[in-house]
Amino acid sequence: MNKTERQFAIMLELQRSKVLRAEDLAAHFETSVRTIYRDMQALSEAGVPILGSPGHGYSLMEGYFLPPIGFSAEEAVALLMGTDMIEQRLDGDYKSAARAARSKIEAILPEPIREASAIVRETMQILHPGGQGENELGQVRGAILERRKIRMLYLKKIPDSDGKRMNERIVAPYGLVLVQGNWIMIARCDLRQEVRHFRLSRMRDVTVLEERYSLPHGFKLSQYRPPDDRKLHVMIRANPEMTDKIAETAGFYIEAAEQRERSLLVQFRVRQPEELLPHVLSWGGDVEVLEPESFRNRIREEAEKMLKRY
- The dihedral region occupied by 187, where left means phi > 0, alpha psi between -120 and 50, and beta the remainder, is beta
Q: 3-state DSSP call for residue 10?
A: helix
Fold observed for domain 232-309: Alpha-Beta Plaits (3.30.70)
One-letter identity of residue 289: V
Strands (E), 130-202: 148-155, 166-179, 182-189, 194-199
* pLDDT(95) > 90: no
pLDDT at 282: 94
What is the number of other CB atoms lying within 10 angstroms of the CB of residue 58?
25
What is the number of other CB atoms lying within 10 angstroms of the CB of residue 264?
19
* H or E, element range at 21: none
Separate counts of helices (H) and strands (E) for the chain = 10, 11
Nearest to 85 by CA among 122, 116, 127: 127
- Round to whole Å and give the CA distance between 89 and 131: 9
For the chain, which residues make up each domain, given as ranges?
3-60, 73-122, 134-223, 232-309
For the full predicted model, state whether its pTM sits above 0.85. Answer: no
- Round to whole Å and give the CA distance between 138 and 287: 42
CATH code for the part of the protein at 134-223? 2.30.30
Instruction: For 140-190, write each residue's pLDDT tens digit.
Output: 999 999 999 999 999 987 776 666 788 899 999 999 998 877 889 999 999
pLDDT band (50, 70, 90) for residue 47: confident
pLDDT, mean over the chain: 87
Contact call for residues 280 and 291 (beta carbons, < 8 A): no
DSSP for residue 168? E
pLDDT band (50, 70, 90) for residue 129: low
Strand-pairing partners, residue 107, are none
- 55-61: average pLDDT: 84
- Round to whole Å and give the CA distance between 152 and 297: 35
Contact call for residues 36 and 50 (beta carbons, < 8 A): no
* DSSP conformation letters of 12-47: HHHHHHS-B-HHHHHHHHTS-HHHHHHHHHHHHHTT
Lowest mean pLDDT among 85-89, 232-236, 255-259: 85-89
What is the number of other CB atoms lying within 10 angstroms of the CB of residue 51?
15
Nearest to 200 by CA among 90, 294, 302: 90
Q: 3-state DSSP call for residue 19?
A: coil
- Round to whole Å and give the CA distance between 265 and 288: 10
pLDDT at 67: 60
pLDDT at 69: 64
Whether domain 3-60 has CATH 3.40.50.970: the reply is no
As a dihedral over the C-alpha atoms of residue 62, residue 63, residue 68, residue 69, rounded to 10 degrees, the angle is: 10
Contact call for residues 237 and 265 (beta carbons, < 8 A): yes
Higher pLDDT, 61 or 304: 304
Contact call for residues 186 and 173 (beta carbons, < 8 A): yes
Chain centre to alpha carbon of residue 302: 35
What's the Rg (C-alpha) of the chain?
Answer: 27
